[in-house]
Homo-oligomer: A and B are copies of this chain.
Amino acid sequence: MRIPKHVGIIPDGNRRWAQDKGMGKDKGYENGLDPGIESYRQLRDLGVEEVTFYGFTTDNTRRPSYQTESFTKACIEAANRLLDEGASLLVIGNSDSKMFPKELLPYTTRTKEKPGQIRANLLVNYGWYWDLNTLANAKGVNKNNIHNNIQSNDVSRLDLIIRWGGRRRLSGFLPVQSIYADFYVVDDYWPDFNKNHINEALAWYDQQDITLGG
């Protein structure tokens, strides 16, 4: 089976999951933490080399504060659990903003992985325009080095993006790294994650003909 090197995870549907359970919209995120570490372990064990989780965006921070506090707390906890696991962690997003949790500042440079672990990226207060913005100040940008000159230059090209929660859109997720990525949508909400989701996504990916635009 052909295994993607880098998998993107869009863990959507937390609020809808909570509402369906009769809980407040903010209660979904804490139920997305176990899926986060389970999916990391599953992908690592399958031979994937890098995984990127869509935490929250600068767009998301316009939501009511009880929600922004809840997803910010979940991102801090997710980062700590990935560190405990021994992942090579990079937290990436606009850290100049007060919406970026200061607890995560140490991880805006990548940590070293423990033996047997892989690279894990967590987008926190990320914005696609923030990501591309550095192109304007870069010197000598040409078609071969755009990727090197964006904020997320330490995040590699994505092979496969899996989105939970049924929506078929990227919602600003790493536009440069997503250019050639295959996109798989799981209808279940993220807190209802189970290993079959990833197994099905990888079985589907295995059947795709990768051309990189050629």
**A interface residue numbers (CB < 8 A to B):** 57, 59-60, 62-63, 127-130, 132-133, 135-136, 138-139, 141-144, 146, 149, 167-172, 175-176, 178-184, 208-209, 211-214
Contact = CB atoms under 8 A, between A and B. Distances in A.
A210 to B, nearest CB: 9
Majority secondary structure of chain A interface residues (helix, strand, loop or mixed): loop
A179 B183 contact: no
B138 A142 contact: no
18 contacts: A59-B212, A60-B213, A63-B214, A129-B143, A132-B146, A135-B136, A136-B138, A136-B141, A136-B149, A167-B208, A169-B181, A169-B183, A170-B181, A171-B179, A171-B213, A172-B179, A175-B176, A183-B183
Given A62-B214, A132-B135, A214-B60, A169 B142 contact: no
Given A136-B138, A138-B136, A213-B59, A146 B167 contact: no
A214 B182 contact: no
Contacts of A212: 59
Contacts of A184: 168
A17 B175 CA distance: 30
B214 A59 contact: yes
Contacts of A175: 175-176, 178-179
Given A60-B213, A62-B214, A146 B133 contact: yes
Contacts of A179: 128, 170-172, 175
Contacts of A214: 59-60, 62-63
A145 to B, nearest CB: 9
Given A133-B141, A133-B142, A180 B176 contact: no
Contacts of A211: 171
B143 A127 contact: yes
A129 B170 CA distance: 19
